[in-house]
Each structure stands twice: as C-alpha cells, then as structure tokens.
C-alpha cells in the first residue's frame, strides 16, 4: 500500500470526480443491499462496479485502501467497507448513510423472519440442519486460504480448538492469544 494511499482524506480523491449527495449514497448502498446473501463479497463487487466503474466517484486506490482497511477493522467486514467508502465520498455523514442504507433493510427482514419463526417453526427444522452444514463450510472456507501455505497455521487451528474446549478460558481469550501468537510467530 503506498504512502499516498495512506494519506487520503475525504476530499482528496480523483479531481474529475463529483461528490455524491447523501441521498445518492443511500440509494447506491440500498440498491446493492439485496445482493448480500450469506457473503459480503458480492456486495463489495457491486459497490465497486457502481462507484468505481459506473459513476467514477471512487478511484481504484481508494477502493483498494477501503477494502484492505475493512479487512483489518473489527466487526463485520462488509459494513466496515461501506463505512470506509462512504467516508471517502462524503466524510462521516457519508459513512453513516452507507452503513444505514446497507444494514437497515437487512435488519428489518431479519426481525420479520424471526417473527415468522414463532408461527411457522416447522419450516425451520430442516433449515436449522442446513445451517449447521453452512456454518461448518463457512469455517472451512475461512481457513482454507491458509492451509498448505504455512505448516504452523494448521497447528494454530488445533491449538485454538483445544483452547476453546477449556471452559474457563472462553472464546475472547482464545482469539486474543491467537492474535498474540501470530504477531510473534517467526516468518517462515
């Protein structure tokens, strides 16, 4: 990542870009909100198409920086990505508009489906079994890029699983200790 990227501010991107109004930002993110089904990567691709390719209001460098920082930030990556790109377009209000436009419709649908769970619970029996499979597949997909790259990574997976089994340690400490171990682990 270049130092130029790191110094970017909300008003310093491509000179030929016209800033989007908050309403336009909300419309863009609301428009792509429906594409995030189980993975934020589709949303990221659609936002890139809309803001970088179609409207030209975000440069490639800004997009890359936003994506990289969203991966580092805690919490849900796709929401951090929306906050980062929204901030690039219109500062803090832009970030708030982008995050709200993406997350509010999903939250409303979530509540409605949770209400439906109480009334049509029989539909959830099969779905719940499927979710177990989906969760396991998701966990595997998360760790898959690291398999075969470095041997110590596999050791760490086993270590984390073992640590999680220790009731008094809990998941938070497992994560923190894993981060610490990764930080000090020597490069291979």
Partner 1 sequence: MSLLLLYLLMLKSTLLSMNGQSSLPIVRAEFVTKRHVLTDRQLNAAVTVAQSSPGPMGGYVVSVGYFIAGVAGAVVSWLALITPAFLVIPLMRYAGRRADSSAVKRSLDAVVIAGSALILQTAWPMAMDSGVFHGVLPAAIAAAAFALVLLTRVPTALVIAAAAIIGWIAGR
Residues 95-124 that bind partner 1 (CB under 8 A): 95-96, 99-100, 102-107, 109-111, 113-115, 117, 122-124
173: helix, strand or coil: helix
Please identify, using beta-carbon distances, which residue of 55 and 124 lies nearer to partner 1: 124
What is the token pair recorded at 98?
A: 């982008």
What is the token pair recorded at 23?
A: 């309403």
Residues 21-60 that bind partner 1 (CB under 8 A): 33-40
**DSSP 8-state secondary structure symbol assigned to residue 26:** H
Residue 35 to residue 15: CA distance in whole angstroms: 30
Residues 125-164 that bind partner 1 (CB under 8 A): 125-143, 146, 153, 156-161, 163-164
Of 23, 71, 93, 166, which lies in the binding site for partner 1, with binding defined by CB under 8 A? 71
Residue 41 to residue 127: CA distance in whole angstroms: 23
In angstroms, how far apart are the furthest CA atoms of the chain? 57
What is the token pair recorded at 87?
A: 């901030």
Please identify, using beta-carbon distances, which residue of 24 and 31 lies nearer to partner 1: 31
Least distance to partner 1, CB of residue 122, Å:
5
**Of the ranges 15-23, 45-53, 80-88, which one interacts with partner 1 (CB under 8 A)?**
80-88
What is the token pair recorded at 44?
A: 């990221």
Is residue 77 near partner 1 by the rule CB under 8 A? Answer: yes
Is residue 187 near partner 1 by the rule CB under 8 A? Answer: yes
50-57 contacts, C-beta under 8 A, 24 or more apart = 51/85, 51/89, 55/20, 55/28, 56/14, 56/16, 56/17, 57/17, 57/18, 57/19, 57/20, 57/89
User: Smallest Cα–Cα separation from 59: which of 92, 22, 88, 98?
Assistant: 88
Of 11, 148, 151, 165, which lies in the binding site for partner 1, with binding defined by CB under 8 A? 165
Is residue 61 near partner 1 by the rule CB under 8 A? Answer: no
Please identify, using beta-carbon distances, which residue of 23 and 107 lies nearer to partner 1: 107
Of 28, 44, 57, 79, which lies in the binding site for partner 1, with binding defined by CB under 8 A? 79
User: Smallest Cα–Cα separation from 98: which of 73, 74, 66?
Assistant: 66
Residues touching partner 1: how many (CB under 8 A)? 102
Please identify, using beta-carbon distances, which residue of 20 and 96 lies nearer to partner 1: 96
């Amino acid at each position: 990542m270049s130092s130029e990227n790191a110094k970017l501010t909300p008003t310093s991107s491509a000179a030929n870009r016209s800033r989007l109004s908050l309403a336009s930002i909300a419309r863009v993110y609301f428009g792509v909100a429906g594409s995030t089904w189980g993975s934020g990567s589709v949303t990221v691709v659609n936002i890139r198409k809309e803001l970088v390719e179609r409207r030209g209001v975000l440069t490639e460098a800004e997009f890359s920086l936003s994506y990289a920082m969203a991966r580092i930030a805690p919490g849900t990556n796709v929401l951090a990505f929306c906050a980062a790109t929204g901030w690039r377009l219109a500062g803090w209000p832009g970030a708030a508009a982008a995050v709200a436009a993406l997350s509010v419709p999903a939250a409303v649908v979530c509540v409605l489906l949770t209400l439906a769970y109480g009334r049509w619970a029989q539909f959830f029996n099969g779905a719940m079994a499927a979710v177990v499979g989906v969760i396991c597949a998701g966990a595997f997909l998360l760790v898959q890029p690291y398999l075969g790259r470095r041997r110590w990574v596999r050791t760490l997976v086993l270590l984390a699983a073992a640590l999680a089994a220790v009731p008094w340690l809990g998941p938070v400490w497992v994560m923190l200790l894993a981060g610490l171990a990764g930080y000090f682990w020597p490069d291979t």
